[in-house]
Amino acid sequence: MKNLIIAFAVLALLTSVAWAGIDRIDRQVSSELEMKPTRSLTYFYDGADDGTPDPWITVDNTMTPQPIRWHVTTHLVAYGTYAYFCGIEPPAPELTGDLNGDGGYGNDWDQWLDLPPVAGITAAGYPMISYSHRFDMELGFDYCVVEAQIGGVYTDMMGAGFEHTGVSGPGPDPTWQTMVAIGWNLTGADDPLIARFRMRSDPGWSDADGKYDSNCGAIHVDDIRVWDYYGIVGTLFQDDVEDGIGQCSYSVPIPTSGAGDFWHIITQLCHADSDPNLWWCGDDGDTSGYLGVVAGIDNSLFTPVIDISGALTCSMYFMEKVFFPFVDPQPAYGWKEIVWFDGLGYELGYWGGDLVSDYGAPTACYYAFHPDDDWTYMLPASTFQYEWRVIGDPVVGIPGFPGVDRSSLYVDDVWVRGLDVTSVEESSWGNIKAMYR
């Protein structure tokens, strides 16, 4: 009986150890943080207090034209022989992350497939654009939309939630989809119609880095048709690309001469947080008080590359203020924010209007204090960097609010902090753990 009791005791001990071994990882991490002797660190702080830009980095992205990726192809075409394709066909040695070897697309693309001007839109009862398509892109971050000019400004005609992103078709692999009797409404577009397909990708997760290995993305487009759903004017434009050339053209939103680098530190008490100095993306020489005259602006503001080696947690706080006119549908100007870990970027979002700071009161001075953004789930990592990127319409730049001094985007008081364990503490902790194994 004694031996039986001992056997049950050993079995209970082994069972408890087994269950402990499959405990949730996040509970283990939480327990480790609670028990380890940690210290709080400020990895980086800058409030632009001294008025100097170093060691921040500003970049005029328009100084480096990107290659044009739209072209006519026979690769993976379903309807006829030819189609338009925004991507790189295999073999694609520049796509170093193309793990399945079938080609695809890269990071930070902004590619346009431009229709020729189409007259007669206003005479149509219900003008539409229809087309066939096949796509494979990172869901929610890389996408293609149809844009048309309204009042000379390119506007997304598809609306939020309808952009082409992820994988086309009902299954896990992309399939061709065709819109025969439906399409996107072009009511309100300028006449003649100036329209385009615009494919955009964020700075990370594509066939270029292997974080998203597409099935030969980004997108194919075929059988483009502009027509009147009510049949008053019939078909206004049709392009099936079967001549191997097509009627559309290709472009990118980057002027080869550069639009200029407009991020700089200014002194303005109303908009600043900790002191009168803060970052602003704008043209001091623009007497209208905002960016309006700067067409095609594409400027990035980067924090320094911050060493977070050994960080157990990582969070970031900053103040930003936004004065962008917002209309619906979203126009072709706005700003995006990107977080970088170990040199790999992850786009957090793209916004096209005054959604952050002044809550519809364009003459007020409200601040947007960001609570700590927790990036602990991205650890372990050696480096951290944050980017704010202002993008203007190629024609009108970024219109401003009447009566607002210096519209656009402001950034101040950036603080990156976290917890780590010193090498001495880590060694001591290892000895303590060894005693109880």
Instruction: Say what the pLDDT of residue 401 is.
Output: 60
HSE-CB of 367 using CA atoms within 13 angstroms: 15
**Percentage of the residues of the chain whose pLDDT score is greater than 90:** 47
HSE-CB of 140 using CA atoms within 13 angstroms: 4
The rounded mean pLDDT for the chain is 80
Instruction: Say what the pLDDT of residue 276 is.
Output: 85
Q: What is the architecture of the domain spanning 41-62+257-420?
A: Sandwich (2.60)
- Give yes or no for residue 25 having a pLDDT over 60: no
Question: Where are the domains positioned within the chain?
Answer: 41-62+257-420, 66-251
pLDDT (average), residues 160-175: 91
Instruction: Say what the pLDDT of residue 341 is.
Output: 93
Instruction: Say what the pLDDT of residue 43 is.
Output: 94
CA 17 from centroid of its chain's CA atoms: 45
- pLDDT category at 259 given cuts 50, 70, 90 is confident
Give the separation between CA 135 and CA 154, rounded to whole angstroms: 23
- Give yes or no for residue 197 having a pLDDT over 90: yes
- Give yes or no for residue 45 having a pLDDT over 80: yes
- pLDDT category at 245 given cuts 50, 70, 90 is very high
CA-wise closest residue to 74 among 222, 251, 184: 222
Instruction: Say what the pLDDT of residue 137 is.
Output: 96
Q: Residues 6 or more apart from 128 whose CB is under 8 A from it?
A: 182, 183, 184, 185, 186, 226, 227, 228, 229
Instruction: Say what the pLDDT of residue 289 is.
Output: 61
Instruction: Say what the pLDDT of residue 345 is.
Output: 83
Instruction: Say what the pLDDT of residue 355 is.
Output: 37
Q: Residues 6 or more apart from 228 whose CB is under 8 A from it?
A: 124, 125, 126, 127, 128, 234, 235, 236
pLDDT (average), residues 294-307: 90
Fold for the domain defined by 66-251: Jelly Rolls (2.60.120)
* Least confidently predicted of 259-273, 277-291, 302-316, 318-332: 318-332
pLDDT (average), residues 383-408: 77
Instruction: Say what the pLDDT of residue 36 is.
Output: 58
Q: Which carries the bigger pLDDT value, residue 17 or residue 325?
A: 325
Instruction: Say what the pLDDT of residue 430 is.
Output: 46
Q: Are 201 and 137 in contact (CB under 8 A)?
A: yes
pLDDT (average), residues 233-244: 96
